[in-house]
Chain A
Amino acid sequence: MSKTASTREFRKVDVDQFNEDNFQDETAAEESQGPNETEVNNSLQSKNNTQALKTVLQNPVASCRNPELKTRVFKLVMKVLSLFKSSEVETAVASLSAVEVDLLMKYVYRGFAEPTSDNICPILLLWHEKLFAVGGYGSIVRVLTNRQTV
């Protein structure tokens, strides 16, 4: 085999994009504003943690294609979760709807993967335990199967 080109650029071409058998997962991205941050911060300042939690889970950004927005919302969610006292977590989870429990479970798993601070993991483990008691294995399976990630 003769070496016809001295450049090696061809090795960087992604040939898989030309494979017709590949699964095409195309859907329109939904635009979402995300939660209202000032509202969340106001609730936190007035020590109304449960209200802050419900606000931060509104307008979910899971179906968006904007990574900066998603990261900003994720950091806000982590901040809200870490401001809860351990005794308050269970009542807060009880006030969430099934959809909100699934959404919060997604954030907990993202928090495990990308810890925002050194002591976030024990807090997340507590939230995970309380969310699992309500959502069951189904909520964890949905974190894994749902292609719309937070």
Chain B
Amino acid sequence: MEEIHRFGYDPITCHTWNNNQSQLALSLNNNEVGIYQKSGKQWERSAVLAEHSGRVMGIDWGRTTNRIVTCGADRNAYVWTPSEDGRWRPTLVLLRINRAATTVRWSPKENKFAVGTGARLICVCHYEEENDWWVAKHIKKPIGATVSSIDWHPNNVLLAAGSSDFAVRIFSAFVKEIERRPEPTVWGTKMPFAALMYEERRRGDGWVHSVGFSPSGNRLAWASHGSVVGISDAGTVYTLTTSVLPFLSVLWVSESSLVAAGHDCRPYLYSVGSAVVYAGSLDVSTHEEDQGDLSAMQMFHSLDRLGAADVSTAIGTKHQNSVNQMAAVAWRDCVATRVSSVGTDGLLILWNTSSLHASLNSLKL
């Protein structure tokens, strides 16, 4: 069953979990990040990270190093390290950008992080020991518009970026100061910094809202504003045009299935094999279920006053407004068993994907 948590009535713009899901960091569409501690069934705010002067656009929690990186519309990024008294100490990272930062992600080894920006470039930042600061390097060409979403390949070098110029691209973010040359992947062999390894530009499909590498890194998925889910399987592209409102977030839950959610307020599961196939929704509520009891007197009363029998404004899904972001919470045997989604309705909902996966296996795709 789903767990629903409410964090006020403001939209939750971004969220991230720590390594054992005992703590949660999220931002309520303002310039603060709240750290919440699980106490029983409730979430209690244990700390506030307030350093940004503009809206916080992205948060990521490094699960092994226990550092949080945040980026904001004030063109800054901060790396937060925890101290013994439970407070978090910020370190400013100079990104050298002249537009807002839109999204931020730690690399798998957490020795560097990438920031997507509205300045049509991606900043890849690594820590320089001798000067005790984070150095930002820029990836510019051939990005033509705001970078809305980024995701790292498991090899810690390749970076996928979706942007508003209708393209998904894979760049190399190889930083020779901190790592060794990577092994060849399905996306190419030579990976100097800022090399464009792959590009897929679909003008008809609209802005790219979200990108994601599959757990092995051989597949790349994206969600476009034209209500399209696209997959590139090492270069072979499949798309699925959907009949629902556009998705804002895609998340791989196994090597062959992904969950997408967005303006339709409902997470959908898709199975990826030789084609992309719809495999059911995580949210199976209907309108009648959420109605509650509507007594006869209430019905005639509202008919009389307002001309309509049913005046509830609730929609028939668990989320009452668009889903902004999803995150995988728990993995078991390379399958994400729990997934969280946050929305513009101020709700965070935890979904179990195990039952849907069981039915997927019986479909034998």
A residues near B (Cβ < 8 Å) are 23-25, 27, 98, 102, 134-139, 141-142, 145-148
Determine if B227 and A24 form an interchain contact, defined as CB atoms under 8 angstroms apart. Answer: no
Known: A98-B241, A102-B241, A141-B246. A147 touches B225 (CB 8 A): no
Contact count A vs B, C-beta below 8 Å? 56
- CB of B165 within 8 Å of the partner chain: yes
In the complex, residue of chain A having the shortest beta-carbon distance to the beta carbon of B207: A145
- CB of B315 within 8 Å of the partner chain: no
**Chain A contacts for B205, CB-based, 8 A:** 145-146
**Chain A contacts for B165, CB-based, 8 A:** 23, 25
Q: How far is the CA of A39 from the CA of B165 in the complex (A)?
A: 39
**Chain A contacts for B144, CB-based, 8 A:** 23-24
In the complex, residue of chain B having the shortest beta-carbon distance to the beta carbon of A148: B204
Q: Which 9 A-B pairs have the closest CB atoms?
A: A136-B243, A145-B206, A138-B227, A138-B243, A145-B226, A146-B204, A142-B226, A141-B227, A138-B242
**Chain A contacts for B243, CB-based, 8 A:** 134-139
A-B contact pairs, 24 of them (CB 8 A): A24-B144, A136-B242, A136-B243, A136-B244, A137-B243, A137-B264, A138-B226, A138-B227, A138-B242, A138-B244, A138-B246, A142-B204, A142-B206, A142-B226, A142-B227, A145-B205, A145-B206, A145-B207, A145-B224, A146-B204, A146-B205, A146-B206, A146-B226, A147-B166
Mark contacts of B213-249 with chain A using CB atoms, 8 A cut-off: 1 yes-contact digit, 0 otherwise.
0000000000011111000000000000111111000
- CB of B41 within 8 Å of the partner chain: no
**Chain B contacts for A141, CB-based, 8 A:** 206, 225-227, 245-246
Mark contacts of B139-171 with chain A using CB atoms, 8 A cut-off: 1 yes-contact digit, 0 otherwise.
000001100000000000000000001100000
**Chain A contacts for B224, CB-based, 8 A:** 145
Give, as a whole number of angstroms, the nearest-CB distance from B99 to chain A: 10
Total interface residues on B, using CB and 8 Å? 21
**Chain B contacts for A135, CB-based, 8 A:** 243
- CB of B203 within 8 Å of the partner chain: yes
In the complex, residue of chain A having the shortest beta-carbon distance to the beta carbon of B245: A137
In the complex, residue of chain A having the shortest beta-carbon distance to the beta carbon of B146: A23
Among B241-279, those with CB < 8 Å from A are 241-246, 264
Partner of B204, one of A134, A136, A147: A147
Q: How far is the CA of A63 from the CA of B224 in the complex (A)?
A: 19
**Chain B contacts for A24, CB-based, 8 A:** 144
In the complex, residue of chain A having the shortest beta-carbon distance to the beta carbon of B206: A145
In the complex, residue of chain A having the shortest beta-carbon distance to the beta carbon of B264: A137
**Chain B contacts for A146, CB-based, 8 A:** 203-206, 226
Determine if A27 and B241 form an interchain contact, defined as CB atoms under 8 angstroms apart. Answer: no
Give, as a whole number of angstroms, the nearest-CB distance from A27 to chain B: 6
Most buried by B among A134, A137, A145: A145
In the complex, residue of chain B having the shortest beta-carbon distance to the beta carbon of A133: B243
Most buried by B among A27, A134, A139, A148: A139
**Chain A contacts for B246, CB-based, 8 A:** 138, 141
**Chain A contacts for B204, CB-based, 8 A:** 142, 146-148
Partner of B145, one of A23, A27, A102, A142: A23
Among B161-193, those with CB < 8 Å from A are 165-166
Given contacts A137-B264, A142-B226, 17 further A-B contacts (CB under 8 A): A25-B165, A102-B241, A134-B243, A135-B243, A137-B243, A138-B227, A138-B241, A138-B245, A138-B246, A141-B227, A141-B245, A141-B246, A145-B205, A145-B206, A145-B224, A146-B204, A148-B203
Q: How far is the CA of A3 from the CA of B228 in the complex (A)?
A: 55
Give, as a whole number of angstroms, the nearest-CB distance from B69 to chain A: 27
**Chain B contacts for A145, CB-based, 8 A:** 205-207, 224-226
In the complex, residue of chain B having the shortest beta-carbon distance to the beta carbon of A137: B245
**Chain B contacts for A27, CB-based, 8 A:** 203
Mark contacts of B198-213 with chain A using CB atoms, 8 A cut-off: 1 yes-contact digit, 0 otherwise.
0000011111000000
